[in-house]
């Protein structure tokens, strides 16, 4: 006889609906904050936070450098996949950490070059502003398109046409785009050179770029104003991978494992706690309260919940292990809350796998999750690392599981040792840029929270009221019994 047989079926997020609460001006959409705790930190509960409750999955077809940059600029975080060499993963982290929105790595010229040569460079590169530096990289002046004519000044030296350093407004050691903007606003220049105290050129900030960067008010930055980023690690090469990722500047790592309640995960977390005690680690995945306790006792600072629900996942079919995500969240969150009462440590719960749209995100958070991890949602975006392809009349992007045959070609995939696949390969419909999709998803989450009469995520956790719905009531909640031709349908499901 089995040790435990639960008669109550486990439930998915789709089976729950929220009951509205009392909405006031205080809880109107514009007043709602989606800030959430990213990981427990000894320096304070909310020391590590996300500006939106969404991270991207550590998958080859989801989280590369472009995703890492754009998602952090929009307030979330990407977890760079670990099914690649240590060097490649560390290089991706380095690229994200060295990205400075609005701070352009300058292409410079020297004062003795001829304007004719600069003009040729300008034609081939497609830009026409050139800072001028000496051999020690010190700023001597700047040449903008108003300062030279490719035909009339071709035989003059750069030094004869540049605006000299003494006549320029420059920023010294400025790393904040808002500060750079304030200086540019008061100057008459279209570009601001940023130098260090030795007058060595570091960046250029262009007036025309600033408006674009002001469109990212939720940017998730570290104390040095660099974008925050996460990386996945596995349970076998962590002694080599973690040091390289830390060296590259990673802010948080997540153990990428389909079953986190294991001896392997314990060893990994113990090694990190001993060697990198200040590096936050997310453990997972687990779906029971015992799994949660195990991971936090091993040192996890956040815990990923979910098994068998991912859109590319065939774990349940292959192994028979798994649980409806809603049931898993409910059980783990109750244990998290008990743990908090006992220890004063708030461990964020991350809902992972099978989260399709804004409604699922909202229900997961209402049930007590602090943020969600999604793969399919992000695989559809321009910023995922795959190429678009046309299939029939549709533009699609490929999407494959880390446990699929395709991902397992990489020897250290989390599923590598398996003799069979736990994931599949398929396509998702191309959705466009993240910047054009995410705001709508966030607006819907805020609208639900407003209806429930809450103004932030901690309040949502305390006040949300949910109900299980029948299959018929789910059907009733969709468009039904009308004819809706495609060309008239303003309504667009996020699913496809
Ligand atoms: P999605 O958002 O439904 O597409 O699920 C993404 C999640 O599925 C990831 O964050 C992983 O936890 C999980 N996952 C990724 N690859 C595989 C796989 O090959 N098999 C099973 N689960 C996977």
pLDDT of 224 strictly over 60: yes
DSSP one-letter string for 92-117: HHHHHHH--TTEE----B-TTSBHHH
Q: Is residue 8 part of a domain?
A: no
Q: CA of 70: how far to CAs of 54, 78, 216, 370, 378, in Å?
A: 13, 9, 10, 21, 11
- pLDDT score at 99: 86
Is residue 301 domain-shared with residue 436, that is, in the same domain? yes
Strands 77-80 and 230-233: parallel
Please give the Cα distance from 238 to 243 (Å, whole number): 8
Which numbered atom of ligand 1 lies nearest the CA of 377? 2
User: Does residue 422 register a pLDDT over 50?
Assistant: yes
Exposed e or buried b per residue across 136-161, where buried means at least 16 C-beta atoms within 10 angstroms of its C-beta:
eeebbbbbbeebbeeeebeeeebeeb
Q: What is the pLDDT of residues 308-358, one digit of tens each?
A: 998 888 888 888 899 999 999 999 999 999 999 999 999 999 999 999 999
Final residue before a domain boundary, out of 192, 213, 234:
213
In a domain, 158, yes or no: yes
Q: What is the Cα–Cα distance from 424 to 407, expressed in whole angstroms?
A: 9
Identify the residue whose C-alpha is closest to ligand 1 atom 11. 353
What pLDDT, on the 0 to 100 scale, is given for residue 315?
87
Alpha carbon distance 83, 236 (integer Å): 12
- Kindly report the CATH number assigned to the domain that includes residue 199: 3.10.580.10
* CATH number of the domain enclosing 269: 3.20.20.70
Cα angle: 431, vertex 398, 90; to 5 degrees: 95
Is residue 1, in this structure, part of any structural domain at all? no
Distance 312 CA to ligand 1 centre (A): 6
Residue where a domain terminates, one of 166, 183, 213 = 213
Question: How is 329-373 classified by DSSP, letter by letter?
Answer: HHHHHHHHHHHHHHHS----EEEES---SHHHHHHHHHTT-SEEE
Pair 61, 133 in one domain? no
Residue with the larger pLDDT of the pair 114 and 495:
114
Distance 425 CA to ligand 1 centre (A): 11
Tell how many helices (H) and how many strands (E) occur in the chain. Answer: 16, 22
Ligand 1 pocket mutation pick from 375, 386, 416 by most atoms within 8 angstroms of CB: 375
pLDDT at residue 175, as a whole number: 83
Cα separation of 193 and 140, whole Å? 11
Q: Is 284 left (phi over 0), alpha (psi -120 to 50) or beta?
A: left
Counting from 1 in the atom list of ligand 1, the atom nearest the Cα of 306 is 12
* Residue 490 placed within a domain: no
Residue 163 lies in a domain: yes
What is 29-77 written as a DSSP string? GGG----EEEE--TT-TTSEEESSSEEE-S-TTT-SHHHHHHHHHTT-E
DSSP β-bridge partners for residue 252: 230
DSSP 176: -
Looking at the predicted structure, is the pLDDT value of residue 418 above 80?
Answer: no
Which tokens in the block code for residue 102? 């609005």
User: What does the angle CA 285 – CA 431 – CA 448 come to, to the nearest 5 degrees?
Assistant: 65
Same domain flag for 222 and 324: yes
| Residue-wise burial string across 211-231, b where 16 or more C-beta atoms lie within 10 A, e elsewhere | eebeebebbbbeeebbbbbbb
Please give the DSSP secondary-structure letter assigned to residue 26: G
Q: Which residues lie across from 54 on neighbouring strands?
A: 372
Mean predicted confidence (pLDDT) in 37-45: 92
Confidence of residue 391 (pLDDT cuts 50, 70, 90): very high
Clarify whether residues 118 and 138 are in a common domain: yes
* Length, in residues, of the chain: 496
Asked if residue 494 belongs to a domain, the reply is no
CA dihedral of 306, 309, 315, 318, whole degrees rounded to 10: 140
User: How large is the average pLDDT for residues 156-173?
Assistant: 94
Q: Which residues line ligand 1 (CB under 6 A)?
A: 57, 59, 258, 285, 310-313, 315, 352-355, 373-376, 401-404, 422-423
**Catalytic sites, residue numbers:** 313, 414
Question: Residue 13's closest CA among 466, 481, 384?
Answer: 466
Residues 441-455: pLDDT tens digits? 999 999 999 999 999
Nearest CA to ligand 1 atom 21: 313
Distance 423 CA to ligand 1 centre (A): 8
Atom of ligand 1 nearest to the CA of 403: 19
Q: What percent of the chain has pLDDT over 70?
A: 96
Atom nearest to 58 CA in ligand 1: 10
Among the three residues 213, 235, 268, which one is the final residue of a domain in this structure? Answer: 213
User: What pLDDT was estimated at residue 496?
Assistant: 46
Q: Are residues 318 and 426 in the same domain?
A: yes
Using the mean position of ligand 1's atoms as its centre, give its distance from the Cα of residue 268 in Å. Answer: 21
On whether both 41 and 17 belong to a single domain, the answer is: yes
Atom of ligand 1 nearest to the CA of 304: 12
Tally of structural domains, the chain: 2
Q: Please name the residue that has the structure tokens 């046309």.
A: 390
Same domain, 282 and 292: yes
**176 in the same domain as 79:** no
Pair (190, 272) in one structural domain: no
> From the CA of 184, how far away is ligand 1's center (Å)?
46
Least confidently predicted of 41-50, 264-273, 281-290: 41-50
> Is residue 403 located within the same domain as residue 342?
yes
Cα 368 to averaged position of ligand 1 atoms, centre (Å): 21
Whole-number pLDDT of residue 207: 84
In a domain, 485, yes or no: no
Residue 83 resides in a domain: yes
Mean pLDDT score, 354-374 = 97
Same domain flag for 384 and 427: yes
Most informative mutation of 12, 56, 57, 413 for ligand 1 (most atoms within 8 A of CB):
57
The CA 352 to ligand 1 mean position distance, Å, reads 8
| Closest-lying ligand 1 atom to the alpha carbon of residue 353 | 5
Mean pLDDT of the chain: 92
Domain around 339? 13-101+218-476
Give the mutation target among 54, 313, 324, 364 for probing the ligand 1 site: most ligand atoms within 8 A of CB.
313
292 and 386 together in one domain: yes
Q: What is the pLDDT of residue 176?
A: 83
């Amino acid at each position: 006889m089995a040790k435990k047989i639960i008669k109550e079926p486990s439930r998915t997020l789709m089976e729950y609906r929220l009951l509205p609460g009392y909405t006031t001006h205080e809880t109107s959409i514009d007043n709602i904050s989606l800030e959430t705790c990213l990981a427990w930190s000894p320096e304070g509960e909310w020391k590590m936070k996300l500006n939106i409750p969404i991270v991207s999955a550590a998958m080859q077809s989801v989280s590369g450098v472009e995703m890492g940059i754009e998602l952090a600029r929009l307030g979330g975080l990407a977890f760079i996949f670990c099914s690649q060499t240590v060097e490649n993963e560390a290089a991706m982290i380095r690229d994200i950490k060295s990205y400075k929105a609005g701070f352009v790595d300058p292409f410079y010229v020297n004062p003795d070059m001829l304007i004719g040569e600069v003009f040729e460079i300008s034609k081939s590169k497609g830009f026409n502003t050139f800072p001028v530096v000496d051999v020690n990289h010190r700023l001597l002046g700047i040449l903008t398109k108003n300062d030279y004519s490719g035909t009339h000044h071709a035989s003059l030296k750069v030094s004869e046409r540049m605006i000299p350093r003494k006549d320029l407004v420059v920023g010294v050691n400025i790393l904040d785009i808002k500060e750079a903007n304030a200086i540019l606003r008061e100057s008459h220049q279209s570009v601001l050179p940023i130098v260090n105290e030795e007058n060595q050129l570091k960046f250029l900030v262009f007036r025309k770029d600033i408006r674009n960067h002001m469109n990212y008010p939720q940017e998730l930055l570290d104390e040095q104003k660099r974008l925050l980023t996460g990386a996945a690690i596995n349970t076998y090469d962590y002694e080599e991978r973690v040091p390289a990722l830390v060296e590259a500047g990673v802010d948080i790592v997540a153990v990428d494992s389909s079953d986190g309640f294991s001896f392997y995960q314990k060893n990994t977390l113990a090694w990190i706690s001993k060697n990198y005690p200040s590096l936050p680690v997310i453990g997972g995945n687990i779906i029971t309260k015992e799994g949660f306790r195990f991971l936090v006792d091993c040192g996890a600072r956040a815990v990923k919940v979910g098994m068998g629900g991912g859109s590319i996942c065939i774990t349940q079919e292959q192994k028979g292990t798994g649980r409806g995500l809603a049931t898993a969240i409910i059980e783990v969150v109750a244990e998290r809350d008990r743990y908090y009462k006992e220890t004063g440590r708030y461990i964020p719960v991350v809902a992972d796998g099978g989260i399709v749209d804004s409604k699922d995100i909202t229900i997961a958070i209402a049930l007590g999750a602090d943020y969600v991890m999604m793969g399919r949602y992000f695989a559809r975006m321009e910023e995922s690392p795959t190429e678009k392809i046309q299939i029939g009349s549709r533009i699609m992007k490929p999407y494959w599981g880390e446990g699929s045959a395709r991902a397992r070609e990489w020897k250290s995939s989390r599923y590598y040792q398996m003799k069979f696949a736990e994931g599949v390969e398929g396509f998702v419909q191309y959705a466009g840029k993240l910047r054009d999709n995410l705001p709508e998803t966030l607006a819907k989450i805020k609208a639900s929270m407003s209806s429930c009469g809450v103004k932030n995520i901690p309040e949502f956790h305390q006040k949300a009221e949910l109900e299980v719905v029948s299959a018929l009531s789910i059907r009733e909640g969709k468009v039904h019994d009308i004819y809706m031709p495609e060309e008239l349908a303003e309504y667009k499901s996020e699913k496809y």
